């Protein structure tokens, strides 16, 4: 997951539709990354960065399934193991730009609450319907964030977002196994329910986080605070559910370290560098790499075998996501 995070810049006008990022990217603005000279190689090659980021976060669900831990445990340590790297970035950012406001901190905690719900729901979806299909379902947030911004915040939504709604709903129905026979998954219908909840909570998380980052120049602080809050909330939720374990085991936690540092940190950075520098049409196509690759990896590594109807649902849902993201978009200046 991880981690794919600001859908729109904090200072954006309400009349401008939210920019859409994939699941697992992107929190960092192009301007805030301009000072990280070691990343300049990728900023000058945005297609390479986008593909690298998409491939990196495509392994998120694969690593969760490989870890073979309870959903709450995976959520807790995905965040916990990312905190040292994010804390260092946040410290460097604070030295350069100063402290963030208390209001921003409060909103980061609220965002962490929805991120915790997102991770736990997604991990349950992975168990019920497989790593590949769960990743595809999680990308519903691409459509939902625009709809929620329109309904809740009164922001303008593009017509293509509304046109995508019936398309993605058709894809969800096909993935659920309601049509056809031999649907893959321990409980496909419940997996789809958790997948839809994943997309919904992630969309809310994006909108809250956007308002909790009043300065685009302090994204690392936002991400660190949100990830810390998420780790704490997932721990409490895991204790309430009764499925969390705080005792590291091998090789499970090796996979969770890879998940934290790969998807939660590096994947987000690469996608954040690339998206503002790419034409909208190309970015929309590249964003489909993550869910498609996750499906293929699930088949190759775990022998996941979605039915013909479910594969059709994947194609239909990704078509709806592409429809929602195609269109004119303002590009950030390349620093």
pLDDT tens figures, 295-317: 999 999 999 999 999 999 999 99
Instruction: Give the residue among 275, 320, 330 at the shortest CA–CA distance from 143.
Output: 320
Q: Is-contact 185 191, C-beta < 8 A?
A: yes
Task: Look at residue 334 in the predicted model and tell me its pLDDT.
Answer: 31
> Residue with structure tokens 């996608």?
271
Task: Look at residue 10 in the predicted model and tell me its pLDDT.
Answer: 39
- How many CB atoms lie under 10 A from the CB of residue 40? 14
Residue 329 has pLDDT above 80, yes or no: no
Instruction: Give the residue among 45, 126, 99, 66 at the shortest CA–CA distance from 250.
Output: 66
**CA distance linking residue 219 with residue 238, whole number of Å:** 28
Read off the pLDDT of each residue in 231-243 and give the average, rounded to a whole number. 96
Per-residue pLDDT band at 103 (split at 50, 70, 90): confident
| Residue of 233 and 219 predicted with greater confidence | 233
Q: For 144, list phi and psi in degrees, rounded to 5.
A: -65, -35
Give me the percent of the chain exceeding a pLDDT of 70: 79
| Residue of 225 and 282 predicted with greater confidence | 225
Angstrom CA distances, 245 to 76, 239, 248, 263, stand at 9, 9, 8, 22
What is the number of H-type helices and E-type strands within the chain? 17, 0
**CA distance linking residue 75 with residue 124, whole number of Å:** 11
Mean pLDDT of the chain: 81
Task: Look at residue 14 in the predicted model and tell me its pLDDT.
Answer: 43
Residue 239 has pLDDT above 80, yes or no: yes
**CA distance linking residue 299 with residue 64, whole number of Å:** 15
Per-residue pLDDT band at 217 (split at 50, 70, 90): low
> Residue with structure tokens 């496909």?
188
Task: Look at residue 160 in the predicted model and tell me its pLDDT.
Answer: 86
Task: Give residue 234's Cα distance to chain centre.
Answer: 17
CA torsion 262→266→267→270, rounded to 10°? -160
Helix (H, G, I), strand (E, B) or coil at 18: coil
Task: Look at residue 3 in the predicted model and tell me its pLDDT.
Answer: 39
Task: Look at residue 49 in the predicted model and tell me its pLDDT.
Answer: 79
Angstrom CA distances, 29 to 9, 55, 63, 268, 277, stand at 8, 20, 27, 11, 11
**CA distance linking residue 81 with residue 183, whole number of Å:** 35
Residue 295: its H or E element? helix 289-302
Give tens-digit pLDDT for 263-300: 878 887 777 677 667 776 666 677 788 899 999 999 99
């Amino acid at each position: 997951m991880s981690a794919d995070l600001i859908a729109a810049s904090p200072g954006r006008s309400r009349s401008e539709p939210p920019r859409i990022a994939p699941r697992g990217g992107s929190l960092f603005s192009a301007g805030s990354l301009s000072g990280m000279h070691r990343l300049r190689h990728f900023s000058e090659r945005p297609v390479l960065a986008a593909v690298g980021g998409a491939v990196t976060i495509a392994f998120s669900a694969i690593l969760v399934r490989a870890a073979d831990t309870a959903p709450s445990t995976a959520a807790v340590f995905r965040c916990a193991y990312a905190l040292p790297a994010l804390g260092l970035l946040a410290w460097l950012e604070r030295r350069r730009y100063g402290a963030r406001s208390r209001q921003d901190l409060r909103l980061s905690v609220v965002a962490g609450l929805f991120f915790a719900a997102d991770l736990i729901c997604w991990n349950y979806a992975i168990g019920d319907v497989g790593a590949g299909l769960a990743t595809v379902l999680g990308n519903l947030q691409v459509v939902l964030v625009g709809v929620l911004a329109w309904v809740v915040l009164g922001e303008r939504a593009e017509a293509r977002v509304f046109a995508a709604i019936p398309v993605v709903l058709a894809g969800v129905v096909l993935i659920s196994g309601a049509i056809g026979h031999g649907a893959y998954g321990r409980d496909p219908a419940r997996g789809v329910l958790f997948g839809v909840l994943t997309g919904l909570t992630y969309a809310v998380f994006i909108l809250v986080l956007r308002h909790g980052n009043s300065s685009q120049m302090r994204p690392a602080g936002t991400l660190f605070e949100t990830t810390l809050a998420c780790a704490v909330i997932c721990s409490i939720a895991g204790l309430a559910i009764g499925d969390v374990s705080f005792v590291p085991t091998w090789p499970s936690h090796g996979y969770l370290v890879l998940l934290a540092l790969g998807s939660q940190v590096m994947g987000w950075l690469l996608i954040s560098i690339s998206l503002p520098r790419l034409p909208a049409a190309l970015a929309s196509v590249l964003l489909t790499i993550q869910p498609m690759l996750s499906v293929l990896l699930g088949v190759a590594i775990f022998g996941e075998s979605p039915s013909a109807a479910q594969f059709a649902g994947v194609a239909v849902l990704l078509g709806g996501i592409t429809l929602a993201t195609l269109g004119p978009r303002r590009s950030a200046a390349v620093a």
